[in-house]
Chain A
Amino acid sequence: MLKNNNKFKAKYLSHQSSDPTCSIEVNDLKKYYYGKKYYEKIKALDGISFQVKYGEVFGLLGPNGAGKTTTVGVLSGLITPTEGSVFVGGYDMKKNFDKVKALIGVCPQETRVFKFLTGRENIEYFGKLHLMTKDQINEKIETLLKLVGLEAIDRKAKGYSGGMLRKLNLLIALINNPCILFLDEPTVGMDPRARRSIWNFLFSLKSSDKTIILTTHYIEEAESLCDRVAIIDYGQLVAIGTPKELMKEHESKNLEEVFLKLTGRRIIEGMEN
């Protein structure tokens, strides 16, 4: 009886997503927020489903308030979905989030760093939270600094410019060498030069077998970095595919045109109102 029970436990704990080549699997994901009145239901995500393969750079595009950040929030365990299932690295988020934590790195939209610490101390602190040894942390910091230059690493983050804070935000997400990286608008607010340097860095990550989920407002960013993109609007997935496939399917010259064709109704509605 006990043996059977252990077998059941082992099977239950190693529960995998339906496709073993998938790094992320999202099935009929819904997230509703309720207003003060019972009938006020805001559908942030309204039944989206998609899969991301291992080593893929997957872009989430959509207008403001479309549900991109909510999707990343659910995938990184910060938002509990109303309905649906999510598998990250083969683990069911509802049951095995603790195991998922060891696989992921999250670069949030807002810069979340301790301002009274130096850049290095911030990265070290999060390295320790990822249960890394001091030597592992130092080695990783040196590697990352070679790839993403942050000259002011030993200065307090309080005096950092917006671009430097963004870089630090990204470096913290990478300290644990995550297999799956969530980047929520990593280059927003950066000047074109700094943005270009981050793009180059992200491009170098493509060859490191990391699965990257990238939300962005910059269509050019998605077009050059992403293997596939999903366009979300009003909490629903309106298109998914490689940039080329989407351009062909929607008879467009570039991804921006596809984006405007699919999400333009919001602009038109905005003008009518």
Chain B
Amino acid sequence: MSIQFKKLFREPGYLFMVLLFPLMIGGMFYLFAGHTQIPMSGKTIYDTMVPGLFIMPALAGLIFVAVSFSQVKSEGLLKRIYTTPTSSKEFIGSVILTNSIIAIIQIALLTGFVALTGFQYDANFIGIILASIIITIFYIGTIAFGLICGILGSSVNTATGYANIYSIPQINLMFFTFPEAELFRRFVPVYYAMDALTIIFDGTSLANLTIWIDFTINMIVTMLIIIIAVLLFKKYGKFN
């Protein structure tokens, strides 16, 4: 597990992309939309972008996980790992756990950043904790999907391609405003994470059923992706 952290701190490019890039995106959001008020709401456009700010690094992180896993695979290291007594479940579990810890650090940094830029959480403390759990579950799902891309991709480029197929439509669907987009959005996991965060940050009561439906769907999708990742690793993990 610790080798992911070693990679993070020994490869400055990786460290920058994983930890600093999300803050840079946040800074850009703040610079361009931090002072534009939405009439009669008392909020800035930046305030409405904050849920997306928390979600975006997960989709970007998906590509990094896919690339780094497919690199390990193309260097033949997976084959070497396959001949050790560590099981597929344990190996995938440790990769997901390490990347989840990195994701939690990302979330903590972003939470601090949005607080510094004056974002007012209308949610109470429990609401913020629930939001953090939802984001973490979503991150774990995307990390596991990154692993699937890495396992299935025959090269780093193919793995990146698969990761883009998953992430780009999700990012785009969040920005499309035409009515049909609303329908399509419901078929992508990011919708449920974003929806839950938006409702919680608006200060809506945590008894709101939509939050829990979003939470459950998010959880089921993440579990399914993890199961698929373990099964695929078991089947294709040893192949280059």
Contact = CB atoms under 8 A, between A and B. Distances in A.
Interface of A: 76-78, 98, 101-102, 104, 106, 108, 110, 112-114, 116-117, 121, 125-126, 129-131, 156, 172, 176
Contacts of B87: 98
Interface in B59-108: 75-77, 79-87, 91
Contacts of B80: 106, 108, 112, 126, 172
Interface of B: 3, 6-7, 10-11, 75-77, 79-87, 91, 238
B6 A77 contact: no
Given A108-B76, A108-B79, A114 B3 contact: yes
A125 to B, nearest CB: 6
B7 A116 contact: yes
Contacts of A121: 3, 6
B79 A131 contact: no
Nearest to A79: B238
A172 B6 CA distance: 19
A116 B83 contact: no
A78 B3 contact: no
B85 A98 contact: yes
14 contacts: A76-B83, A77-B83, A78-B238, A102-B85, A114-B3, A116-B6, A117-B3, A121-B3, A121-B6, A129-B86, A129-B91, A130-B84, A131-B85, A176-B84
Contacts of B11: 116
A125 B81 CA distance: 10
B79 A130 contact: no
Contacts of B83: 76-78, 101, 104, 106
B38 to A, nearest CB: 46
Contacts of B7: 116
Contact of A112 (B6, B75, B84): B75
B77 A129 contact: no
Nearest to A77: B83
A180 B205 CA distance: 63
A239 B65 CA distance: 48
A116 B7 CA distance: 7
Contacts of B6: 116-117, 121
B84 A129 contact: yes
Nearest to B81: A129
A78 B10 CA distance: 31
Q: Which 5 A-B pairs have the closest CB atoms?
A: A129-B84, A112-B76, A129-B86, A112-B80, A101-B85
Given A113-B77, A117-B3, A130-B86, 19 more contacts: A77-B82, A77-B83, A77-B238, A78-B79, A78-B82, A78-B83, A101-B85, A106-B80, A108-B80, A112-B75, A112-B80, A114-B3, A116-B6, A116-B11, A121-B6, A126-B80, A129-B84, A129-B86, A130-B84
Nearest to A156: B10
Contacts of A112: 75-77, 79-80
A156 B6 CA distance: 11
Contacts of A104: 83
Contacts of B81: 129
Contacts of A113: 77
Query: Which of A76, A78, A130, A131 neighbours the largest number of chain B CB atoms within 10 Å of its CB?
Result: A78
A126 to B, nearest CB: 7
Contacts of A108: 76, 79-80
